[in-house]
Amino acid sequence: MKQNNYTIITALLGIVLGVLATVLVTRVYEVKKKFDGDYNRWRKLNLILQEVQKNYVDTIDMEGMTDAAVVAALAELDPHSVYLPPVELTESETELAGNFEGIGITFNVPNDTAIVLSVIPGGPSEKAGLVQGDRIVRVDERVIAGKKTPQDSMVRLMKGPSGSKVTITVNRDGTVIPFEIVRDKIPVHCIDAAFMVNDTTGYIKLSKFTRTTYKEFSEASEKLLEQGMTKLLFDLRDNTGGYFDQALLLANEFLAKGDEIVYMEGLHRKREDFKADGRGMLKDVQISVLIDEGSASSSEIFAGAIQDNDRGVIVGRRSFGKGLVQEPINFTDGSGVRLTVARFHTPSGRCIQKPYDKDYAYDIYERYASGEMVSADSMKVDTTALFYTVKGRRVYGGGGIIPDVFVPIDTTKVTDFYMACNKKATTMRFASYVFDRHKAQLAKLSDTAQLEAYFKTLGLESMFLDYAARVDGIKPAKGEWELSKEYMMPQINGLVGRYSKVGEEAFYRFYMPIDDAIKAALNNPGVVE
């Protein structure tokens, strides 16, 4: 604040000196506008904008100024009350809607070129003839290969309204081929993986809470139940949330009739409680919920309901701490506001939202700096905000959900070699390198056992070390590879495996044996005594 005042004073001095220097040729006008001091009616903001429009020396971008004023005003509230211009509003709604309009592919950009990772069955691209491994050179007339085109820009170019046409030009084994594709509605799946870990334990990885989450989760859990699931590892790590009603529906699957799921309350919103109806199909399934610092919003509502009702065990690290109820206010120009109107509280009364003070944006970095990521004793716990679960266990507020079983980040395998490979995305680029040379064989493999056997015949480990040295000039120092390989090779196997029929699930299957949070969850019965 002091700095701002100093800046303003300096600017005013400059104006005064300028007026004195040219007093013979300049007239200074003073026009007083009435302001009644009632800030509740926003009159001061309107007066300023009107005066700027009438008197400013150059042409005014009123749309830009109005948007800037709204953004600045909302910034005085909380970090999540935001203004969204038309483009951003459309993108935010599309991300959670469960479908979008486009060409129906997933792609990766390992070397400044988009490589088709998978073609959605029955989608426009499959019908047109695109296949896994195609390198996208142009979208219509715009060259995107080798131009350092941002990935989100590539997505925007390929998306478009149903029925519109786009020409995607690809490089396939050295041959450049243009494909005219008619865009259509494409389903977006929120479950990345769902499979049995052993004879009785199922695993579901949920990436976000979209409009289709409950439907997808129900279908996945039903299949796992048919395969003998009596315990579920539900992975909500890095799940930033989404639709509130989907979190309610998922929690309802596990809770008994009358169990509180969550309640919301705000200055202009009376307390509203949400309880389970007892019709859930998974009330007898043991559950362990995996969370971390990337788990937020609806993920925290679900985890808090399971924890406070002593229904299952929460495993991992303290969640993000976003528990604000936001209502959409949309305008006719396509823009909108997401306004915070209340706060979410877990059944025991804990407020999920962490304090939004001056360090809010740097909270996750501070967790690393304070040692919270590697030590439970360093975890930020507000012992004055004490609450009790249904069975009388102590739980604490202060923001986020604190796990029952803490799992630290393992930094022992992060060598200089690993960091150098990570910086250059060596593992991802190596995966596409392997695919280019073995695509025919990979296309035939449909389970991880087949993949594992095939990788052994390839000598994938020595291939990777040769690739890292030859292409990126990266070689492990003495002893580094021994430390890093048990962490890196499962990732490499999974990244290459994504190019097979196993798809995205390959990564989770290969990585699972070295995942400390999964190990902790498997070793825990999933029942709170």
| Residues 6 or more apart whose Cβ sits within 8 Å of residue 30 | none
Does the pLDDT at position 497 exceed 90? yes
For residue 521, give the nearest of 190, 300, 192, 197 by alpha carbon.
197
Over residues 178-193, the mean pLDDT reads 86
For residue 402, give the nearest of 313, 274, 325 by alpha carbon.
313
What are the φ/ψ torsions at residue 411 (nearest 5 degrees)?
A: -95, 0
DSSP 349-402: S-B-SPP--TTGGGHHHHHHHHTTTT-GGGS---TTSEEE-TT--EEE-SSS--
pLDDT value at residue 252: 98
Does the pLDDT at position 226 exceed 60? yes
Per-residue model confidence as pLDDT tens digits over 26-81: 444 455 555 555 656 677 888 888 888 899 899 888 888 888 888 888 888 888 88
CA 210 to CA 242: how far, in whole Å? 6
CA 250 to CA 286: how far, in whole Å? 14
pTM above 0.75, yes or no: yes
Q: 109 pLDDT band (50/70/90 cuts)? A: confident
Does the pLDDT at position 526 exceed 70? no
What are the φ/ψ torsions at residue 375 (nearest 5 degrees)?
A: -145, 125
Over residues 431-459, the mean pLDDT reads 91
Per-residue model confidence as pLDDT tens digits over 227-275: 999 999 999 999 989 889 999 999 999 999 999 999 999 999 999 999 9
First to last CA, the chain: 53
CA 396 to CA 351: how far, in whole Å? 10
Does the pLDDT at position 454 exceed 90? yes
CA 506 to CA 493: how far, in whole Å? 8
DSSP designation for 55: H
Does the pLDDT at position 442 exceed 50? yes
Domains, in order of start, for the chain: 2-77 (no CATH), 99-187 (2.30.42.10), 191-408 (3.90.226.10), 416-517 (no CATH)
DSSP designation for 198: S
The percent of the chain in helix, strand and coil, each rounded to the nearest 5, is 40, 20, 40
CA angle at residue 305 from 304 to 307, to 5 degrees? 65
